[in-house]
């Protein structure tokens, strides 16, 4: 279905969205075909021209209207997120709605400044009466393909940034969370967004593949490495640029001087929030041998205290996992770890008292090593493997021993040490004494290195992904023809040698020494014409 009032061509199937905690139907949405995707792109392209001609303030008005609607309908939206994804309502508010309200305010107010034309210092060319500026123009139509784990915050943030930059959007939400995707579109429609600017194409992987293969101006993809690779391959055929926000295997390093109580709480939240289904979840914990017994004991106690219910239950810390497929991945990783010698300290399976949903107990493992899947591959579930290290060098080497590089966290009371270690860890974001949450900061860039992705979202760097920089260069002394123009004489070649030796040093004094040769060249050129 479209965000607007458009009716799609008849489709053979609907996708049915189910509550993973109860199996109840949450809603139905159209399985959009490649043709539907093409029509959505056409509508978006037609609408984008007028939208890009508006001022930032005019675009911001719509975003701020939408923000008001989100604020006033927060509980209803949080409940929908919880029912479709399984996460607790409280977490939907804290981790999806709060950050997006902040992001909407930030980009509505700041995009003018963030995309202000920039004067570039062009060195000696400036002294020659030239100037350069970069102006930022919207790309056109942005295709956003988003996952189910943060079905509101991930696409909404990108939608807001793309719209503020003057683009139109075609959004493909996950088949597990289509109703949240449609709710985003409905919110913007009621906020006064003109028709066509935000098209939502619900569907499954085939719909996503159709969007990746279509001619849009950029694809913002968030999802797994395997699908990201397929999206990049499809986009390469049309030379469509892509931003890939992919998986993680994020390490947490706890040094011997860390605040153990805070670090243990952070490890439990970082590993088990959203049932561990966050790309930035703590997936590997490395703790200094000296504090390992104390730290691990506190982690186990805090994990035991977590309450697991359906996400809509008022006392739920952990809800159901979003799909049975994800649950099985967790079970496979646990089986592999235990077979190879890992010890389950708490949890370890499906809870006996919760039936009919895809629940998995929060699980802490000890005696793990890097031969195990649970330390190498993305588990994306409520599993916290804890391993020890002896010194800083070993901790860094273990943290970097991964194909992924999304986020990492370092725990120490010595912030200088924290910063030093942070600069040696291969991850797009390294937090010192913090964990997981910086996707929620609108101002900071988000993205990974290694197989965790390409490009950035959020912050100024993320906004830059959604515009094209145009360089405008002006010669303010147009009546003096350039010395390097035709025709090439021996005198010209001699001057060019001088330019190589002196002008290219960047020194005005060196260049001044070329003044007599330049004068002769001017006279020579003038006498030829
Ligand atoms: P998937 O890669 O399975 O799916 C992501 C999106 O791509 C979904 O909308 C999916 O549709 C769609 N899709 C599926 N097949 C194709 C295809 N062939 N071409 C184009 N699109 C397709 O990821 P998950 O939804 O399982 O999300 C979990 C993954 O996302 C984890 O690896 C996690 O780490 C990563 N992630 C990364 C984040 C980051 O910021 N780096 C943030 C959040 C998650 P459908 O669901 O309908 O099949």
Question: Do 186 and 301 fall within a single domain?
Answer: no
Best residue among 157, 205, 324 to mutate for probing ligand 1, ranked by most atoms within 8 Å of CB: 205
Are 374 and 335 within one domain?
Answer: yes
Q: What is the pLDDT of residues 261-273, one digit of tens each?
A: 999 999 999 999 9
Looking at the structure of the chain, the number of domains it has is 3
In a shared domain, residues 116 and 191: yes
Least confident among 25-34, 218-227, 460-469, 475-484: 475-484
**If we measure between CA atoms, which residue out of 279, 158, 277, 284 comes closest to residue 225?**
279
Q: Is the CB of 85 under 6 A from ligand 1?
A: no
338 plus 364 within the same structural domain: yes
State how far the Cα of 22 lies from the Cα of 16, in Å rounded to an integer.
Answer: 14
Q: Whose CA is nearest to atom 48 of ligand 1?
A: 205
Supply the mean pLDDT for the chain: 96
Percent with pLDDT over 70 in the chain? 98
Residue 22 lies in a domain: no
Neighbours of 260 (CB within 10 A): 18
Contact 460/165 with Cβ under 8 angstroms?
Answer: no
Question: Would the CA dihedral through 452, 454, 459, 463 be positive or negative?
Answer: negative
Residues 163 and 201 in one domain: yes
Q: How confident is the model at residue 478 (pLDDT cuts 50, 70, 90)?
A: very high
326 CB under 6 A from ligand 1? Answer: no
Q: Which residues contact 422 (CB under 8 A, 6 or more apart)?
A: 408, 410, 430, 432
**pLDDT in the model for residue 12:** 57
The pair of structure tokens assigned to 13 is: 């199937």
Has residue 106 been placed in a domain?
yes
Whether residue 369 lies inside any domain: the answer is yes
Domain identity same for 201 and 297 = no
- The b/e string for 404-434 (b: 16+ C-beta within 10 A; e otherwise) is bbbbbbbbbeeeeebeebbeebbbbbbbbbb
Q: Are residues 261 and 230 in the same domain?
A: no
Above 50 in pLDDT, residue 6?
Answer: no
Distance 147 CA to ligand 1 centre (A): 4
Ligand 1 atom with the shortest distance to the CA of 228: 2
| Ligand 1 site, residue 147, Cβ cutoff 6 A | yes
Q: What is the pLDDT of residues 205-227, one digit of tens each?
A: 999 999 999 999 999 999 999 99
Distance CA 331, CA 349 (A): 7
**CB-based contact 378:247 (threshold 8 Å):** yes
Are 41 and 214 in contact by the 8 Å Cβ rule? The answer is yes
Q: Is the CB–ligand 1 distance for residue 453 below 6 Å?
A: yes
User: Nearest CA to 70 among 97, 96, 91?
Assistant: 97
Residue 448 lies in a domain: no
- Name the closest-CA residue to atom 46, ligand 1: 174
Atom of ligand 1 nearest to the CA of 176: 46
Q: Respond yes or no: is residue 245 known to be catalytic.
A: yes
**Cα torsion 444, 427, 273, 24: sign:** positive
Enter the pTM of the model. 0.95
260 and 228, same structural domain?
no
Can you state the angle between helices 98-114 and 56-72, rounded to 10 degrees?
A: 170
Would the CB of 206 count as within 6 Å of ligand 1? no
Task: Kindly name the residue from 279, 283, 285, 377 that is annotated as catalytic.
Answer: 279
Give the pLDDT band of residue 288 (cuts 50, 70, 90): very high
**In-domain check, residue 26:** no
* pLDDT one-digit tens code per residue, 337-379: 999 999 999 999 999 888 889 999 999 999 999 999 999 999 9
60 and 119, same domain (yes or no): yes
Distance from Cα 222 to the centre of ligand 1, integer Å = 6
Tell whether the model's pLDDT for residue 2 goes beyond 90. no
In a domain, 354, yes or no: yes
pLDDT digit string, tens, across residues 81-98 = 999 999 999 999 999 999
Ligand 1 atom with minimal separation from the 452 CA: 41
pLDDT in tens, 381-430: 999 999 999 999 999 999 999 999 999 999 999 999 999 999 999 999 99
Residue 18 located in a structural domain: no
- Check pocket membership of 204 for ligand 1, CB cut-off 6 A: yes
Q: Is the CB of 227 under 6 A from ligand 1?
A: yes
Q: Decide the pairing of beta strands 449-450 and 404-405.
A: antiparallel
Would residue 63 count as lying in a domain? yes
Say how many Å lie between the CA of residue 521 and the centre of ligand 1. 62
Residue with tokens 């988000």, as numbered in its chain: 446
Residue 10: partners with Cβ closer than 8 Å, 6 or more residues away = none
Q: What is the CATH number of the domain that holds 61?
A: 3.40.605.10
Please, which residues bridge with residue 407 across strands? 429
With 0-12 / 13-18 / 19 or more C-beta atoms within 10 angstroms meaning exposed / middle / buried, residue 145 is buried
Instruction: For residues 159 and 229, state if they share a domain.
Output: yes
For residue 299, what is the domain's CATH number?
A: 3.40.309.10
What pLDDT is stored for residue 352 in this prediction?
Answer: 86
Q: How far is the CA of 125 from the centre of ligand 1 (A)?
A: 47
Task: Verify cis geometry, omega within 30 degrees of 0, for the bond prior to 459.
Answer: no
**Is there an atom of ligand 1 within 6 Å of 212 CB?**
yes
List the residue whose alpha carbon is closest to atom 37 of ligand 1: 246
* Catalytic residue (one of 84, 91, 245, 377): 245
**Residue 507: which domain range?**
485-527
What's the 225 CA to ligand 1 centre distance in angstroms? 8
The answer on 241 and 267 residing in a single domain is: no
Is residue 161 very low, low, confident or very high in pLDDT (cuts 50, 70, 90)?
very high
* Known catalytic residue at 32: no
Same-domain check for residues 287 and 255: yes
């Amino acid at each position: 279905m479209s965000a607007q009032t458009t009716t799609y061509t008849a489709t053979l199937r609907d996708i049915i969205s189910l509550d993973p905690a109860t199996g109840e139907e949450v809603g139905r949405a159209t399985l959009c075909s490649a043709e539907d995707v093409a029509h959505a792109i056409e509508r978006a392209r037609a609408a984008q021209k007028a939208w890009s001609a508006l001022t930032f303030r005019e675009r911001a008005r719509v975003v701020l209207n939408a923000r008001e609607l989100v604020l006033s309908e927060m509980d209803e939206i949080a409940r929908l997120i919880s029912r479709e994804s399984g996460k607790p309502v409280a977490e939907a508010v804290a981790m999806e709605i709060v950050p997006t309200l902040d992001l909407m305010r930030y980009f509505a107010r700041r995009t003018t400044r963030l995309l202000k034309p920039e004067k570039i210092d062009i060195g000696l060319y400036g002294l020659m009466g030239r100037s350069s500026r970069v102006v930022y123009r919207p790309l056109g139509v942005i295709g956003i393909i988003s996952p189910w784990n943060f079905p509101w915050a991930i696409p909404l943030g990108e939608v807001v940034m793309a719209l503020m930059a003057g683009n139109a959007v075609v959004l493909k939400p996950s088949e597990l969370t289509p109703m949240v995707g449609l709710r985003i579109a409905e919110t913007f429609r009621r906020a006064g967004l003109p028709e066509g600017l935000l098209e939502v194409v619900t569907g499954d992987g085939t719909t996503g593949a159709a969007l990746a293969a279509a001619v849009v101006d950029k694809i913002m993809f968030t999802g797994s490495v395997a699908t990201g690779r397929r999206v990049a391959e499809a986009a390469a055929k049309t030379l469509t640029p892509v931003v890939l926000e992919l998986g993680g295997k994020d390490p947490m390093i706890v040094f011997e001087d860390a605040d153990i109580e805070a670090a243990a709480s952070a490890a439990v939240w970082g590993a088990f929030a959203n049932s561990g289904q966050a790309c930035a979840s703590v997936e590997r914990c490395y703790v200094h041998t000296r504090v390992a017994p104390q730290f691990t004991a506190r982690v186990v106690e805090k994990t035991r205290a977590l309450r697991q219910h359906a996400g809509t239950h008022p006392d739920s810390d952990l809800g159901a996992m979003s799909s049975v497929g994800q649950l099985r991945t967790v079970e496979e990783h646990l089986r592999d770890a235990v077979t190879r010698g890992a010890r389950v300290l708490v949890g370890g399976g499906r809870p006996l008292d919760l039936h009919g949903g895809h629940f998995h107990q929060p699980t802490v493992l000890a005696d793990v090593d890097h031969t195990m899947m649970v330390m190498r591959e993305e588990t994306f579930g409520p599993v916290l493997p804890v391993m020890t290290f002896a010194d800083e060098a070993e901790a860094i080497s273990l943290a970097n021993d991964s194909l992924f590089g999304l986020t990492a966290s370092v725990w120490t009371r010595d912030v200088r040490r924290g910063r030093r270690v942070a600069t040696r860890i291969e991850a797009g974001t390294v937090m010192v004494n913090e964990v997981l949450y910086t996707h929620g900061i609108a101002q900071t860039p988000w993205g990974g290195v290694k197989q965790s992705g390409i490009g950035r979202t959020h912050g100024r760097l993320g906004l830059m992904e959604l515009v094209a920089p145009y360089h405008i260069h002006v010669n303010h002394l147009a009546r003096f023809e350039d010395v390097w123009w035709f025709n090439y004489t021996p005198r010209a070649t001699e001057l060019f040698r001088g330019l190589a030796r002196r002008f290219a040093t960047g020194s005005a004094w060196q260049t001044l020494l070329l003044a007599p040769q330049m004068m002769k060249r001017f006279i020579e050129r003038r006498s030829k014409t």
